[in-house]
Amino acid sequence: GAVVSQHPSRVICKSGTSVKIECRSLDFQATTMFWYRQFPKQSLMLMATSNEGSKATYEQGVEKDKFLINHASLTLSTLTVTSAHPEDSSFYICSARAYRGPSEQYFGPGTRLTVT
């Protein structure tokens, strides 16, 4: 149990376009989902925390107009990178915390974004 999926696993887009990444909790309902960014050989940087039905809370230094987060249901959150630039290329990982039961975070497999 407690599986989190991400789609797509890899995406290549051209500079100036937008790309949407989905994060789904497959077998549980997630009150809270987190979005992280990971640079090569570095740790995870929390970008934002999203709660179902409310606006996401962004970490300091993260542009909320560039990284749009929507958490429309208890099983789905999306991250849209708008007007992507090569410096947005990174590994994006989401995690989800269950609505009931342990408060443990379950992580998705990540999405590799490359902006050309």
Partner 1 sequence: GNSVTQMEGPVTLSEEAFLTINCTYTATGYPSLFWYVQYPGEGLQLLLKATKADDKGSNKGFEATYRKETTSFHLEKGSVQVSDSAVYFCALEETSGSRLTFGEGTQLTVNP
Structure tokens at 77: 């959150």
Stretch of residues binding partner 1 (CB under 8 A), selected from 14-22, 37-45, 68-76, 79-87: 37-45
CB-wise, 20 or 59, nearer to partner 1? 59
Task: Say whether residue 19 binds partner 1 (CB under 8 A).
Answer: no
Interaction between residue 107 and partner 1 (CB under 8 A): yes
Q: Please enumerate in sequence order all residues whose Cβ is within 8 A of that of 16, keeping only pairs 6 or more positions apart, or say none.
A: 83, 84, 85
112 contributes a contact to partner 1 by CB under 8 A: yes
The binder of partner 1 chosen from 24, 71, 95, 96 (CB under 8 A)? 95
Give CA–CA dist 5/82, Å, rounded.
22
CB nearer partner 1, residue 57 or residue 82: 57
Q: What are the DSSP E strand ranges found in 1-116?
A: 4-7, 10-13, 19-25, 30-38, 44-51, 57-58, 67-73, 76-81, 90-98, 105-107, 111-115
Is residue 49 within the footprint of partner 1 (CB under 8 A)? yes
> Under the criterion CB under 8 A, does residue 6 sit at the interface with partner 1?
yes
Q: Which of 44, 62, 74, 76 binds partner 1 (CB under 8 A)?
A: 44
User: Could you give the 3-state DSSP secondary structure of residue 14?
Assistant: coil
